[in-house]
Amino acid sequence: MQPASIERLAAAFARLPGVGPRTAQRLTYHVLTRPEDEVRALAQALVEVKELIGDCQTCFNLAEGPQCVICADSRRDPSVLCVVEGPADILPIERTHEYRGRYHVLGGALSPVDGIGPGDLHLEELYRRVVDGDADLHGVKVSEVVVATNPTTAGEATALQIGADLGQRAPDVVVSRLASGLPVGADLEHADEVTLGRAFAGRRTI
């Protein structure tokens, strides 16, 4: 039994991933001990990130404005695309320093049981990028697609689909899959840099 505003904040924290009721309560008390300007800055950062962040028009990574920082970086190799399920998968790959190409974010993985079909993912946009090249790259063609979907049933099904589709539409493009070493059933997001780096170095053609 607590004041209603405390209950509301604790309930909001408890909806965050990995936060149980006890941690939610602790975070709420923590907020109450902090100076008002600090709490205001936190609240503002929460609202701002929702207002400012949208999808990159090229790769569907998170972006402030039309392009994400990776697509806007002219030093990135435009001939290689790494396909990931979500924007959260990009950071761990970047941390391996094994990869200097660009990305394509699918927005999920194929999972018929969850009602997620090819039309729900950014697959057509991927094939267009591979076949036509990115509009801003003045004719630079993609020569390799590295499929880095999660080593789960849905991730594997998605990788197979991409391999089959690109085999038909762009037979000259090498399509590879991250090598083993990644624990089956695990998320890329939680893989350590060494394992993920090795998986990248040992990717195989599919």
Measuring CA to CA, how many Å separate 101 from each of 46, 70, 78, 195? Answer: 31, 9, 6, 19
Q: Which stretch binds Zn ion (CB under 5 A): 28-36, 58-66, 85-93, 127-135?
A: 58-66
Q: Per rule CB under 5 A, is residue 121 in the interface with Zn ion? A: no
Q: Per rule CB under 5 A, is residue 68 in the interface with Zn ion? A: yes
Amino acid code (one letter) for 65: G
HEC string of 9-66? Answer: HHHHHHCCCCCCHHHHHHHHHHHHHCCHHHHHHHHHHHHHHHHHEEECCCCCCEEECC
Q: Which stretch binds Zn ion (CB under 5 A): 61-69, 79-87, 113-121, 132-140?
A: 61-69
Q: Per rule CB under 5 A, is residue 84 in the interface with Zn ion? A: no
Q: How far is 143 from 71, CA to CA, in rounded Å?
A: 17
Question: Quick one: 81 or 162, whose CB is closer to Zn ion?
Answer: 81
Q: Per rule CB under 5 A, is residue 126 in the interface with Zn ion? A: no
Helices H, strands E: what count in the chain?
7, 7
CB 162 within 8 A of CB 141: no
> Can you tell me which of 71, 130, 166, 196 binds Zn ion, judged by CB under 5 A?
71
Q: State the minimum distance, in angstroms, from the CB of residue 55 to Zn ion.
A: 9
Q: Which stretch binds Zn ion (CB under 5 A): 34-42, 57-65, 139-147, 165-173?
A: 57-65
Q: Per rule CB under 5 A, is residue 61 in the interface with Zn ion? A: yes
Q: Per rule CB under 5 A, is residue 58 in the interface with Zn ion? A: yes
Residues within the interface to Zn ion (CB under 5 A): 56, 58-59, 61, 68, 71
